[in-house]
Amino acid sequence: MIIIPLFIVISHACSNSANTGWSNNYSKMLITTANSITNVDLNTVCPKIDPAKVPGLPPYQYLSSSSCLGYLGPLGPYGPLSSLGPLSNPFWYPSNYFGQIQLPTNIQQIIQWSQIQYGAPMSKDGPLGYKGPLATTQYYGQQDPGKTLFESNDFAVQLRAFGLWSALGPIGPLGPLGPLGPLGPIGDHGYSVDLNGNYLNGTKIVKTVTIDYDGSSTRTYPLYEFYQSSYAKTIQLDTSFLVESDVCQGDDAYQIGGLPFNQIVTFVLTPLLALDSYSLILQDQFGKVLAQSNADNYIQTIQVNVKMNTKLSVIVHPIFLSTTIGSYRLFVTGSTQYITQYNISGNQIQSN
């Protein structure tokens, strides 16, 4: 007799399906961290995760430290963001590659010309265009293939904002906005790089690129810089960059924010040495701690909805270094003004 009303309450509390009930409310800060995600009670997550719609393993096993959120996963020291991946391999850098084969004309022009070729990385047919995972119709599940994907695969649903595996998803560092995509250091934008990591057109620093979105409108995306940490610590950063740093014992601090639009920002800290561990801390502009990720044996992540013009500090604090000097990469990936809505709730989300 008690169970029945309780059941009704719970089913009412989670009425939205994968592709409904989107919210754009930025009045309260919502936060997930590696700690909150790996301590989640799966029964509280909405839309409900149906184990039959999660391929492979039972859903909770994908939260284990030996799975995708741990050191052996794609965000870790053996994954594509680490020093084993393309960001550390000069062969992937278009300027080096083209430099070696000595093209007769201006490389920048050739690369920029290639962007308008069919299906090229920065064309409307590429990952940033109207058919890509960040297209409104795809991300929000309005049209196929996105619609069917999110209706049939609950792991995919949780790759979107505030989902359990969102750090691995389309608005995180492995997605098209991230460092491995067209906007990053090995991307197709064709800009050269100065010693600090800024992109240059001639002598002018370039921060964004505008691409054809669908043949009738454009989207302006932020470039993804690979900054020198000594430089990054001295400037106000946007939400689209990575920085690599060596640390001994002290903390590193980076100031970000002040952007003129709301967005969801994903922070990922990749240790470059497999035995090292760090704590990732987010503070407001007055030094108040908003979030801290320090889950044992996991890659530290924080995701937060950031209201326009908000200023934040990101602190990297070494917990354990296996050698005298540790080294890490910090990835900061904003969802841009084009993807701002979310519709996942559950006790993995904390609020401030």
Ligand X SMILES: *[C@@H]1O[C@H](CO)[C@@H](O)[C@H](O)[C@H]1NC(C)=O
Site for ligand X in 127-166 (CB under 6 A): none
Burial class (CB in 10 A: 0-12, 13-18, 19+), 326: buried
- Residue 31 to residue 155: CA distance in whole angstroms: 20
Is-contact 223 199, C-beta < 8 A? yes
- For the chain, state the CA radius of gyration: 20
- Position closest to ligand X via CB: 21
* DSSP notation for 269-336: EEESSTT-EEEEEEEETTS-EEEEE--TTB-EEEEEEE-TT-EEEEEEEEEE-SSSSEEEEEEEEE-T
DSSP three-state, residue 3: helix
Find the part of the chain contacting ligand X (CB under 6 A) among 14-22, 75-83, 229-237, 278-286: 14-22
From 142, 118, 49, 71, select the one nearest 299 (Cα to Cα). Answer: 71
Q: Which of 262, 335, 345, 348 binds ligand X (CB under 6 A)?
A: 345
Kindly state whether residue 15 participates in binding ligand X, applying the rule CB under 6 A.
yes
**Residues 106-132 as b or e (16 or more Cβ within 10 Å = b):** ebbeebbeebeeeebbbbbbbbbbbbb
Give the contact letters, 21-60, x = binds to ligand X (CB under 6 A), - = no: x-x-x-xx--------------------------------
20-28, 231-239, 279-287, 325-333 -> range binding ligand X (CB under 6 A): 20-28
> Least CB distance from residue 307 to ligand X, whole Å?
11
Smallest gap from Cβ 187 to ligand X, in A, equals 13
Q: Which stretch binds ligand X (CB under 6 A): 17-25, 68-76, 114-122, 245-253?
A: 17-25
Of the pair 136, 208, the CB lying nearest ligand X is at 208
Closest CB 26 distance from ligand X, rounded Å: 8
Q: Which of 10, 11, 20, 145 binds ligand X (CB under 6 A)?
A: 20
Q: Strand order of the sheet with strand 192-193?
A: 192-193, 199-201, 204-206
3-state SS assignment for residue 144: coil
Per-residue contact string for residues 114-133; x = within reach of ligand X by CB under 6 A: --------------------
Using CB under 6 A as the binding rule, the residues of this chain from 305 to 344 that contact ligand X are 343
Nearer to ligand X, 16 or 65 (CB): 16
Rounded CA-CA distance 88/93 in Å is 9
207 lines the binding site for ligand X (CB under 6 A): no
Token digits of residue 78: 């053996």
Q: Given the complex with ligand X, which of 78 and 261 has the nearer CB atom?
A: 261
Q: Residue 160 Cβ, how far from ligand X at the closest point, in Å?
A: 11
Q: Please, which residue, 21 or 80, has the CB nearer to ligand X?
A: 21
Q: Say which amino acid occupies 69.
A: L
- Tell me how far, at minimum, the Cβ of 324 lies from ligand X, in Å: 43
203 or 217: CB nearest ligand X: 203
Q: Is the dihedral of CA 273, 278, 282, 285 positive or negative?
A: negative
CA–CA separation, 224 vs 241, rounded Å?
5
Task: Round to whole Å and give the CA distance between 123 and 111.
Answer: 12
How many residues bind ligand X (CB under 6 A)? The answer is 13
Give the nearest distance from C-beta 141 to ligand X in angstroms. 13
Using CB under 6 A as the binding rule, whether residue 112 contacts ligand X is answered as yes
Binding to ligand X by residue 95, rule CB under 6 A? no
Nearer to ligand X among residue 68 and residue 264 (C-beta): 264
Query: Quick count: other Cβ atoms within 10 Å of Cβ 70?
Result: 18
- Among residues 113 and 320, whose Cβ is nearest to ligand X? 113
Q: Does 16 bind ligand X (CB under 6 A)?
A: yes
State the residues that interact with ligand X by CB under 6 A: 15-16, 20-21, 23, 25, 27-28, 112, 201-202, 343, 345
